[in-house]
Structure 1
Amino acid sequence: MAPNQHICGFYYTTPRVDANPWEDQCQRHYLPQLGLKSHTTILSRTSRTLLTQTFTNPDQTKAIKNVRYTFPLYDGVSVVGFTCRIGDRLIKGQVKEKEKAKSDFNQAVERGQVAGLLEQLPDAADVFTTTVGNIPPGATIVAEIAYLGELKHDAQVDGIRFTIPTAIAPRYGKYPGELLSKPASAQAHASSGMEIVIDAVSDDYSPIKQLRSPTHPISVSMGVTSTAPDAEPTMTKASATLSLGTAELDTDFIIQVVAKDTGNPTAILETHPRIPQQRALMTTLVPKFSLPSIRPEIVFICDRSGSMGSGSKIPTAVEALKLFLKSLPVGVKFNICSFGSRYTFLWPKSKSYSQDSLEEAIKHVQTFHSDYGGTEIFEPLKATFENRYKDMELEIMLLTDGDVWGHESIFAYLNEHIYVQKEPVRVFTLGVGLDASSALVEGIARAGNGFSQAVDDNEKMDRKIVRMLKGALSPHITDYSLEVKYADDKQGNSDDGFELVEKVTDGLRVNLNLRDTDAQHEAGVNNGKGETVHQLAARKAVSELEEGRGWLSEAVDATGAKLKEKMEGRWDELVEREAVRLGVKFQVGGKWCSFVALEQNPENQDAKPASRDWKYLDGGEPIPSAATGDPSLADYQQGVMLLRQEKAAAGPRFMMMASASAKPGGRGGAGMKGFRQRVTDKLGQQHQPAAAAAVSAVNPADVQLMSSEPIMEACADPLADDVVATVLAIAFLRLKVAEEEEAWELVVEKAEDWLNEGSGVGEEVVRAMKEKAEALVKGKE
């Protein structure tokens, strides 16, 4: 596993003096985990999990100024609670606006208090990270995180699927850094090992028939739950337990709950325990309408990138494609697109399904290997849209492990074409492998008006494939309504269509109507108190806002004009403000909200730090990140820059470096003055040629390697090395940190002006050098 990837655990960082310029500049040191406990309650199609993990600082003489705790959570999960106990000191989390949370966290750390900050990585919804400050020598750390989830239907068993993930694609398994040894005193720790408990409770009319795991051996008790083992047994309750002697889970833990009549429509009406007159409604409507099938164009987009070479992903994808192809009905048109860092189509345009086209497609699929380079989904997706038949519906079947970051551009494209331009296109996704990125797989399906399924090496997939194909062949329904009926219609209002129902009486009925048909579904309502449905609804609304959709995008003013068009210049601010309002009100973390955990009742907040005499394992420097207050955008523009590494699984904003005060050293230049930052700094200096300034920012070995190319040998100009350095620097910025173009585009423009007008090298030679430089930078990935 690459050193820039994540697993679940606590770590601190120290500078690496031997890192290559394109590599992570810091070494991770993981604290040993002593124990793990997880308790989940599944109610209907929702889950609430309390995850408790115990770690230790193995050094008895040195403290740790900052540690980061990262953990994978599947798409759609809402973090709703965070507490951390360090020794005898307790910190408890509260959701605040992200910048306010950072400020409170930094102030607490400066005072020497124990503090924590929990936030979602900006570019991946399935990665959450916590930063905790001031860990004393030899301290035990107990972290508790509560999170909610809306569970998916598992077509293979016709039940509900719950997953506790240990991986973020393909980032699981071995530690991406040094795992510190446990101290001898920790070997007999009371919390050692692992225990996972799942309690399932179903509706009265839907008894549980089976509780099983396709991934792990479990102990199952039918009729009772772990919290009430002596209660009267009932068929609507069950409990499962997984116990291991070590605190290691090498693969995702999957539980399947099979109950009777799970396809019946249901609704849960929940009253908030603390907010007056606040209720929330969740409905589950399984479509079982007798509607005629369509004969659309179906394009299979299959991931053949290098990450698909791990395990049995390619064989699994090939088998899935064969099932898809053999199940297609006569009358559809279909095509196959393979993608990685490039993409190809089997045919220029989709062909009609026939025996000849099927045989040709099967032969093509059998040649698949993971030989297409990196994972770049946007371009093949865009090409599929542009290449479609305009007089037919298009159904896209995307098969991928989702090993890609920066999902926003994909979501924005789907929003524009499906929601704004109303193109008759749907996107279904099949996550391949246990470590498939759920944020991407489920996010694309959600944005594409389809749904997702997941398959791994040990699961049958035929029913899942058929379910996806049936979904693709179902008609595009755009004329429907969801009706909520109150006991007294006068109590309704125009705002009740939002996920959070503001005013509801005890008498409630939910109907789903499809116009021009006789189909109508009515759901009975279960009542109760709690926060689960409220927080799930809030998270759903916030997710849609983060992905560029949601109710706010359809809001209009008194004249009927869309606010999105009327207030275009401030739209991003309005969206963020609404997401923050929901996050803070219902205590749900997200892209713009973070949990900040401060020490409970510290004796003297203004006291001098008790830690001032400590020596630190991490040098006492903060872990640079969006979470721990790295340089602001103003610092960014002044040249003190933390640039992104596009393929860093730690997330572009979480590239691990030393603090801004660290000095460069070694090949890569550990610290804030590392290779990437020096490139931008020196290209941006005003009073010297950009190319000459860039020479020291590019490794001499790279210049020699590139200069040895024939095209370089033909360039006898004495400034050739300067030109090479500049061309390499520009190629690095464009290929590795493209998402930060706003920060470097002007200095690159200046450098290119020098290349074209002041370097003395001909235009054709410069163009050839740029091609060589791009090839060299790509080869360093």
Structure 2
Amino acid sequence: MSVGKVNRKIITILCSPRLSRIICGMATGMSLGVILLVLWSMTALGASPTDNKQEFGLFFRETGQDAPLTPALTQSSDMTVDIAGIVLRGTVQQTFRNDSGNWVEGIYLFPLPDDAAVDGMTLIIGERRIEGEIQEKEQAKRTYARAVAEGKRASLLSQNRPNVFTTKIANIGPGEEISVEIRFQSLVKRTGLEFSATLPTVVLPRFFPRPDAEHMATVIADRNAMEQPITGPATGVYDAKPVNPTRMTVNLDAGTELSLLESPSHQFNSLHLEGGRYRITLKDGEMPADRDFVLRWKMALSSSPQTLVFSETAGQEEYILTMVMPPAEAQRDKTTLPRDITFIIDTSGSMAGDSIRQAKASLQKAVSQLRPEDHFDIIRFDDSMTRLFGESRPAGPENLRYARSFIDRLEANNGTVMYPPLASALGDKQPENALRQILFLTDGAVGNETELFQLVHENLGSARLFTVGLGPAPNGWFMRKAAEFGRGSYTLITNLGEAENRMDALFSRMQFPSMTDVTMENADASPAESFPPQIPDLYDGEPVVFVSRREVTDADFNLQGRFKNRDWKEYLSVKHAQKSSGIAKLWARRKVEALMDLKAHGLSEETIRLSVLDVALSHAILSPYTSFVAVDKTPVRPHLTDLKTEKLSANAAKGLDMFKQQRQLAGPATATPMTLNLILGFAALFTALITFLILGRRTAR
């Protein structure tokens, strides 16, 4: 048969009415399948075309499919915090109650201060206390799993992030109540005469950008570990009784009388004791765990020390904690250089609600403080990004008006993809005779923190990165570490009413660093291991805080640097340092953090793991590679009785629009499980096939 005849035959078949009907049937079937797919997936995910309310939270049915939904476990927390000078010691007791008729394993995700050294865990069963043991993480998992299988009560405490932890507690019998006590140490923050302590109570859901194929499994496992059911009014499910109610007591020993004691986040009662001691409790007795508790205090001006030194001796080693304020005359220089500043503002779904209002108010305030000689640009981002000008422009009246209008129109939606805007800002050229600065306003609700730290480390150059944490529960670890890698500073704004004042203070500090090139060494030149290993530039009112280890010696410290373009040095005496327990734990925590930072420098994971294990196991602290595990000796769960595993619910963060947050998390972050994708795909194909067969049969007739 000739080629021409073949072509004519093909055309005849393709143009036949029967084939046209078959193709039409297939197209119709597939279209119907897609429509059914969309409707079914909306129902499966808890949404409908006419109702955007979703029910989040963890529940199970006691009996039968028609039984009412009841909480699997209830949890409450009691936190006691003792603050002496700048050292904070805390204890959190988490109580789990099983009101169901099942044997239950509970999983609870919770936050602690981002610099906390977690150094103890106790399982409490009635009057009995079972102390947890520190073990290598995988070994602790095996110890816990064996206890669970044997029907023994057990608890496991692990670190997800330096500020996010997971408690697992197994074999809680029907009607039983079991507690886990967690102990930690931290430092308070000082800015000028103001001290502050931030105690987080809720974990803001994190957004994970889509990884490449090589890292897919790791990222999915990490994301799953950070997931938790969310409930509360902001999710469309209202319950008058808060989830995970928290009671709190703070015992503050400032060492002197205070001129200010306040909280921008909560109402509290304060009992003034002798000697500059205060006892702070929540006004309502307990609070819903839906936002950070922030406490601030100021010393009277006449008694404010410029140097605080604490020490602890362990064997032949001495651990020293030092806080030094910059020289009192370190005021803003009137001859400061012009600035080239890029503002980055997060407009993703996690910022919806109070956070985006804080961000816009803060950014408007920052823009209003630009001088005519300054240059600026604005980058807004969610899962895409937009640059206002595309490059730095002079801060003239017309550009400022354009910027204010741009800020007014910003809305929060979609995912949190931080890498492109950070890379864009860091890629700008360093201007001559100008301070290159980046001001980043965000809640830090991302899961790829390490990737972002590496980006800043490799591309910072002579620029400085300043972070502003916004909202009821920002990711303090990310904000602090990003600023540390960026050699800038971190500012927290939890209350919209404070945005103007705190941005004023930040912009004033950013005008000119009071000290640069800061280093510390022993006066006798003997070695000391101090952290952070590189002290950042100091800005007005911000202290140097470092923790050191050395052999026991009478030698003092030398702190030196550059102040107003001239050399500056101060001698710090350790002989009369205030004795304090726990400094060794804080040093170990800072060393672990410094070792983990080496990931951004390209050091191998295995080398870091071995070094961290050496420090964490010898000092008995929690780390990415160690966990605490406690096991009761006696099996209690009857043989062959099922154990239900349940993740406990968390409150939605106060002021957060959870509908936009859920849409963000369901975005391009591989948020739909692979199994669900397969089911949906087969359902669509099956519908298309059935429709095709029906229409095909009619055509054949």
Common fold: TM-score over 0.5: yes
Q: Amino acid of the residue matched to residue 279 of structure 2?
A: S
Cα distance change of structure 1 residues 55 and 389 upon mapping to structure 2, 3 Å threshold: same
Question: Which residue of structure 2 lines up, in the alignment, with residue 441 of structure 1?
Answer: 479
Which one of the candidate residues 181, 203, 211 is aligned to 1:168? 203
Higher strand fraction: Structure 1 or Structure 2? Answer: 2
SS of the equivalent of 2:498 reads: coil
> Structure 1 residue 399: deviation in Å?
0.7
Relative distance call for 1:89 and 1:134 in structure 2 (3 A) is farther
Residue 576 of structure 1 aligns to a residue in which SS? Answer: helix
Cα distance in 1 between the residues matched to 2:647 and 2:663: 19
Q: Distance in 2 between matches of 1:131 and 1:193?
A: 19
Q: Aligned AA for 2:261? A: L
1:276-295 equivalence runs, <5 A: 276-288=315-327, 289=330, 293-295=336-338
Equivalences for 1:646-685 in 2 at 5 Å? 676=674
- Asked if the contact 1:91/1:115 (under 8 Å) is kept, the reply is no
Secondary structure at 1:611 match in 2: coil
Q: CA deviation at 1:91?
A: 3.0
Q: Does 1:429 align with 2:472?
A: no
The corresponding residue for 1:613 is 639
Counterpart for residue 771 of structure 1: none
What SS does the aligned partner of 1:519 have? strand
Q: Tell me the equivalent position of 2:248.
A: 196
CA contact (8 A) 1:126 1:168 kept: no
- In the alignment, structure 1 residue 466 sits paired with structure 2 residue 499: no
Corresponding pairs, count: 569
Which whole-Å deviations, capped at 9, do the CAs of 1:477-514 have from their partners, x for residues lacking one?
663322333xxx38x33657874412133563453332
Residue by residue, what CA displacement relative to the aligned partner does 1:214-235 show, whole Å, maximum 9, x if unpaired? 333322122x3xxxxxxxx22x
2:96 and 2:178 in contact (8 A); partners too: yes
Q: Give the drift of 1:589.
A: 1.1
Q: 2:630 aligns with which of 594, 597, 601?
A: 597
Q: 1:151 aligned to 2:170?
A: no
Q: Distance in 2 between matches of 1:159 and 1:542?
A: 28
SS at 2:444 equivalent: coil
**Distance verdict in 2 for CA 1:142–1:195, change over 3 Å:** same
What are the within-5 Å matches in structure 2 for residues 77-116 of structure 1? 77-87=116-126, 90-116=129-155
Tell me, yes or no, if structure 1 residue 699 matches structure 2 residue 697.
no
How far 1:211 sits from its partner (Å)? 2.3
The answer to whether structure 1 residue 120 and structure 2 residue 170 are counterparts is: no
Matched, 1:588 2:621: yes
Deviation at 1:13, TM superposition (A): 8.1
1:702 and 1:125 mapped to 2: Cα distance?
Answer: 43
Residue equivalent to 2:566: 517
Output the TM-score relative to the length of structure 1: 0.65
Could you tell me how far 1:58 is from its partner in structure 2?
Answer: 0.7
Answer yes or no: is 1:365 the counterpart of 2:400. Answer: no
Change (3 A) 1:648 1:597: farther
What's the CA shift for 1:302? 0.6
- Taking the TM superposition and a 5 Å limit, the aligned residue runs for 1:382-531 are 382-389=423-430, 391=432, 393-418=435-460, 423-475=461-513, 479-485=517-523, 489=524, 492-493=526-527, 495=529, 499-506=547-554, 508-514=556-562, 517-523=566-572, 525=574, 527-531=577-581
For 1:303 and 1:460, how far apart are their aligned partners in 2?
19
Aligned sequence identity (%): 23
1:381 maps to a residue whose letter is L
Offset, 1:246: 5.4
SS in 2 for 1:588: coil
Q: Partners of 2:684 and 2:70 in 1: how far apart?
A: 27
1:29 Cα offset (Å): 4.8
Separation (CA, whole Å) in 2 of partners of 1:110 and 1:613: 10
Match 2:280 to one of 212, 222, 240:
240
* Structure 2: distance between partners of 1:28 and 1:524: 61
Among 354, 357, 374, the alignment partner of 2:415 is 374
SS at 1:307 equivalent: helix
**Structure 1 residue 380: Cα displacement:** 0.6
Change in Cα spacing, 1:296 to 1:102, as seen in structure 2 (3 Å) is same
Pair 1:588–1:321, CA change in 2 (3 A)? same
Q: Report the TM-score, using the length of structure 2 for normalisation.
A: 0.72
1:303 to 2:346 alignment: yes
Cα distance in 2, alignment partners of residues 429 and 706 from structure 1: 52
**Distance change in 2, residues 1:646/1:363 (3 Å):** closer
Q: Does the aligned pair in 1 maintain the 2:348–2:664 contact within 8 Å?
A: no
Q: Is the 8 A contact 1:153 1:159 kept in 2?
A: yes
Corresponding residue number in structure 2 for 1:133: 170
Deviations 1:248-285 (A, max 9, x none): 3444322112113587432333224xx41232112223
Answering whether residue 595 of structure 2 is matched by residue 545 of structure 1, we say: yes
- Give the AA of the match of 2:294: I
Cα pair distance change 1:263/1:30, threshold 3 Å: farther
Q: Which runs of 5+ in 2 are unaligned?
A: 1-44, 47-56, 206-227, 534-546, 649-661, 693-701
CA contact (8 A) 1:267 1:523 kept: no
Give distance in 2, aligned partners of 1:90 and 1:494: 39
1:352 aligns with 2:394: yes
Residue in structure 1 matched with residue 651 of structure 2 by the alignment? none
Structure 1 residue 307: Cα displacement: 2.3
Amino acid at match of 1:332: D
Is the CA contact 2:558–2:571 (under 8 Å) kept in the aligned structure 1? Answer: yes
Greater shift after overlay, 522-531 or 86-95? 522-531
Instruction: Sort the Cα spacing of 1:238 and 1:505 in 2 relative to 1 into closer, same or farther, 3 A.
Output: farther
Alignment of 1:255 with 2:295, yes or no, is yes
Q: Distance between the aligned counterparts of 1:512 and 1:646, measured in 2?
A: 51
Code of the aligned partner of 1:380: P
| 1:162–1:255 Cα contact (<8 Å) kept | yes
Structure 1 pair 334–494 and aligned structure 2 pair: CA distance change class (3 A): same
> What whole-Å deviation, never above 9, does each CA across 1:644-666 have from its counterpart, x for those lacking one?
x99769xx99x9xxxxxxxxxxx
SS at match of 1:435: coil
Q: 1:286 to 1:153 in 2, by over 3 A?
A: same
Query: For residues 128 and 400 of structure 2, what CA distance do their matches in structure 1 show?
Result: 65
1:220 matched to 2:270? The reply is yes
Distance 1:610 1:84, change over 3 A: closer
Counterpart-to-counterpart distance in 2, 1:622 and 1:326: 50
TM-aligned CA deviation for residue 297 of structure 1? 1.2
Q: How far apart, in 2, do the equivalents of 1:215 and 1:596 lie?
A: 34
Distance 2:479 2:500 in 1: 19
**1:165: Cα distance to partner?**
2.0
Structure 1 position 41 matched with structure 2 position 82: yes
The verdict on how the C-alpha distance between 1:199 and 1:87 changes in structure 2, with shifts beyond 3 A counting, is closer
**Cα distance change, pair 593–500 in 1 and its aligned pair in 2 (3 A):** farther
Q: State the distance in 1 between where 2:509 and 2:684 align.
A: 52
1:213 is displaced (CA, Å) by 2.1
1:200–1:239 contact (8 Å) kept in structure 2:
yes
Aligned-residue offset at 1:323: 1.1
Matched, 1:576 2:617: no
Task: Report the more deviating stretch, 409-418 or 208-217.
Answer: 208-217
Q: How does 1:544-563 map to 2 (within 5 A)?
A: 544-548=594-598
Contact 2:599 2:605 in 1 (8 A): no
Amino acid at match of 2:618: K
> SS state of the match for residue 336, structure 1?
strand
- Residue equivalent to 1:54: 95
1:353-391 CA-partner distances (Å, limit 9, x unpaired): 2222222212221222224x2111111100111234454
State whether residues 340 and 374 of structure 1, in contact with CA within 8 Å, keep that contact through their aligned partners in structure 2: yes
1:747 aligns to what? Answer: none
Residues in 2 aligned to 1:302 and 1:370: alpha-carbon distance in whole angstroms:
10
